[in-house]
Amino acid sequence: MISAIEISKTYHNSRTAALKNTNIVIDEGSINVIMGKSGSGKSTLLNILSGLIEPSTGTVYMMNKDYYRLSEKEKAQFRGKYFGYVFQSFQLIYELTVYDNIIMPLHITNQKVNEQAVYQLLKDLEIYHYMRSFPSELSGGQQQRVAIARAMIHNPKVIFADEPTGNLDSENSLRVIELLTRLCKKNQTTLLVVTHDKQLIKNPDHLFILKDGKLV
Ligand code: ADP
Ligand code: ADP
């Protein structure tokens, strides 16, 4: 699905590389965890693999395309079609209901809403009864499940999640991750999760550990 060859990243205002000559392959439909201490390069690696920041050196093939050779417009279209993103802060729109938050990406891109697909996602994430509620009426764990539904509404090939449980207590964290991984397996969606929590995902297909910008 994604393969990165000898990628490295040095930020403009930095003397040391945040990521050093890294090779990584992400298999289609696999559950992947990236771990490491704060500052080890997890977000940098995820952001490169998810098409958000260009590496300083190296090549990233996404579904056989040399992604960073595409134009800005082509990259944006590619991400919109194939990728879904989940963040530590849920980034919901608090003026909209749960339902309207979830269908937002379809609205923006002028796509038809398949009501049944929305209901199925709501059920899979156990938030069906909250579809007419507003995010502020939900717990953090429930809000993150809404954000996951929104990230999956267009049937992406890959979900990228950077510390998706960073704002949740341990009970809600496990629930969110359990539902997220179950849904990805069911839909054969590839999943990449960055976390520093060893306990979070019990049996990923691949566990990548970063130390000082290098995969160990
Ligand atoms: P985390 O450890 O949770 O991944 P960080 O605190 O490292 O998050 O980074 C938060 C944000 O600040 C990120 O968007 C990152 O790119 C940016 N950032 C981190 N370190 C620096 C830095 N030294 N200079 C500028 N921006 C930074
Ligand atoms: P992690 O996600 O593991 O906390 P990051 O990828 O956020 O690690 O950061 C790796 C290193 O790069 C850190 O030293 C961080 O301070 C630095 N860094 C991250 N983002 C930026 C940025 N935008 N500008 C400068 N330095 C950054």
pLDDT confidence bin for 198, thresholds 50/70/90: confident
| CB distance 46 to ligand 2 below 6 Å | no
- Quick check: 214 pLDDT over 90? yes
- Pair of tokens at residue 148: 């996951």
The domain locations on the chain are 28-47+81-215
| CB distance 41 to ligand 2 below 6 Å | yes
What is the SS3 assignment for 4? Answer: strand
pLDDT confidence bin for 24, thresholds 50/70/90: very high
pLDDT confidence bin for 196, thresholds 50/70/90: confident
The residue nearest atom 1 of ligand 1, judged by CA position, is 38
Ligand 1 site residues, Cβ closer than 6 angstroms = 38, 43, 163
**Ligand 2 atom, smallest distance to 9 CA:** 12
* Cross-strand pairs, 192: 32, 160
pLDDT in the model for residue 23: 98
Helix (H) or strand (E) holding 121: helix 115-124
| Each residue's pLDDT tens digit, 163-185 | 999 999 999 999 999 999 999 99
Q: Which of 43, 162, 193 to mutate to test the pocket of ligand 1 (most atoms within 8 A of CB)?
A: 43
Distance (angstroms) between ligand 2 centre and the Cα of 132 equals 39
pLDDT in the model for residue 202: 86
Q: How far is CA 164 from CA 88, 147, 167, 207, 213, in A?
A: 4, 10, 8, 16, 21
The residue nearest atom 22 of ligand 2, judged by CA position, is 11
| Each residue's pLDDT tens digit, 63-78 | 999 999 999 999 999 9
- Quick check: 51 pLDDT over 90? yes
pLDDT in the model for residue 199: 84
> Span 37-42, mean pLDDT?
95
Q: Judge contact between 1 and 157, C-beta under 8 A.
A: yes
Q: Judge contact between 84 and 102, C-beta under 8 A.
A: no
CA distance 122 to 142: 11
Which among 184, 207, 154 is positioned nearest to 28, based on CA atoms? 184
Distance (angstroms) between ligand 1 centre and the Cα of 51 equals 17
- Quick check: 95 pLDDT over 90? yes
Q: Judge contact between 134 and 98, C-beta under 8 A.
A: yes
**Ligand 1 atom, smallest distance to 44 CA:** 16
pLDDT in the model for residue 129: 97
Give Rg (Cα) of the chain.
Answer: 17
> Span 31-35, mean pLDDT?
97
Quick one: DSSP state of residue 170?
Answer: H
> Span 84-113, mean pLDDT?
95
pLDDT in the model for residue 127: 97
**Could you tell me the pTM of the whole model?**
0.90
> Span 133-144, mean pLDDT?
97
**Ligand 2 atom, smallest distance to 194 CA:** 2
pLDDT more than 90, % of the chain: 95
**Ligand 1 atom, smallest distance to 162 CA:** 4
Q: Judge contact between 62 and 54, C-beta under 8 A.
A: no
Task: Classify 28-47+81-215 by CATH class.
Answer: alpha beta
| CB distance 165 to ligand 2 below 6 Å | no
